[in-house]
Amino acid sequence: MKIIHLFTIAVIFAATSVAWFVLGSAMNLRTHEHHGKSGERIADGWGPPLVQTHPTAWHAAPGTSDGRRPLAIAASDISVDLAFEPRRRGLVNHRTYAVDFRATYEIENTTPVSQTVYVSFTLPDASTSYENFSFTLGDGGESRRSPRNGTFIEAVVLPAGGSAPLVVTYLARGVDVWRYHFNDNARVSDFHLTMHTDFREIDFPAGTGSPGERAETERGWEFNWAYPDVIAAPGIGMSMPDVLNAGPITSRIAFFAPVSLLFFFTVLVLTGIERQTNLHPMNYFFLAAAFFSFHILLAYLVDHIPLHAAFAIAAAVSLALVGGYIRIVTKGALTLMAVAAQAVYLVLFSYTFFIPGLTGLAITLGAVATLAILMFRSARIDWSSRFTPPRQTPPPLKV
């Protein structure tokens, strides 16, 4: 192996790294463009993250600053069913869901006289579509009014100490997260909410409380929150399961590809020096191109087929290119080693991006293991002799 060959290999590595950077940047751009356009379509069809607010009640009080005195909701019994229905648009999977909301609230007049009690119930989002909606307060029957800015306000006359039920039901669609929110410093009494999910990967958003009870079901989970008498009760919520997004994953794989190629070239160079089967820099050029074929195939296959299938096809093509080429060039001497190295450094390293939090550890362990193997295998190599050109023996003098 000549020094000039090592320099040329380094130039090939640098040029391929630039190509990967361009590919990764292009995938990022395509992802953001798809996400912006598809996000608007998803919001139009499915709505935003939904936040249902606890209702409020009050009666007229002329002596107060706003002319009303609040009344606490005496009891709440709520059932929420969440159905995870992710939608793919371009290179992005959106965490869309459907929610079946059913609630019964007990509105109580705690004053010593008869009062006209007003009840306000605000829908999660004024622009979202609500199916099978019903709003019934007391014995007055279902309200047929339309909401004003997403809020229903109805009134009922209650005698002193009397109460009336408020029953609300609807079906709606949202994205990413569903929440139930209490007004700041509000007092919540006899509150109970049961949530059913059809998915098992659960995550309670920041700022929400954990359920008091939970149990696995055939399809997912059942959670129960109970607040007997709480001031400033924590909100309730559920984030939808994470989904693999082809665009971000393929771009990250492309940006980290130089690490895989660096390991592969290092193993190939040192093994060639050890076995005295050195490859020409042109061979390294074609091997780098075969590595790059994996990423460019993956980047454009994910537009048309599922991510895992695209990954398998791209990996198979790249392995076949490298393995077949090495077999011809070295007459089989380095084939097994090259294919094994590519399977580890390219395929396995790239697949760790499908498992959040594992990529850094996998690369670290791979680097340490590679270093240990190469150190012990090359410990007896006389490096000065391997990089010193052979001395030319002068021809014998003719007499």
| Domain final position from 194, 216, 239 | 239
Residue 153 belongs to a domain with what CATH number?
Answer: 2.60.40
Q: Is 395 within a domain? A: no
The residues near 204 (Cβ < 8 Å, ≥ 6 apart) are 210, 237, 238, 239
pLDDT at 191: 95
End residue of a domain, out of 239, 273, 288:
239
pLDDT of residue 389: 59
Q: How far is CA 369 from the centre of its chain?
A: 30
194 shares its domain with 295: no
Boundary (domain end) residue, out of 184, 214, 239: 239
Would residue 298 count as lying in a domain? yes
Ordered mean pLDDT values, 10 residues apiece, the chain (399 residues):
82 93 86 56 67 92 82 93 83 85 93 90 87 87 78 90 92 93 85 94 90 91 93 91 81 90 88 80 92 91 86 93 91 87 89 79 80 75 62 60
Looking at the fold, whether 101 and 233 belong to one and the same domain comes out as yes
pLDDT score, position 38: 47
Domain range for 27 is 3-32+245-386
Note whether 198 and 53 are same-domain residues. yes
Please check whether residues 235 and 260 belong to one and the same domain: no
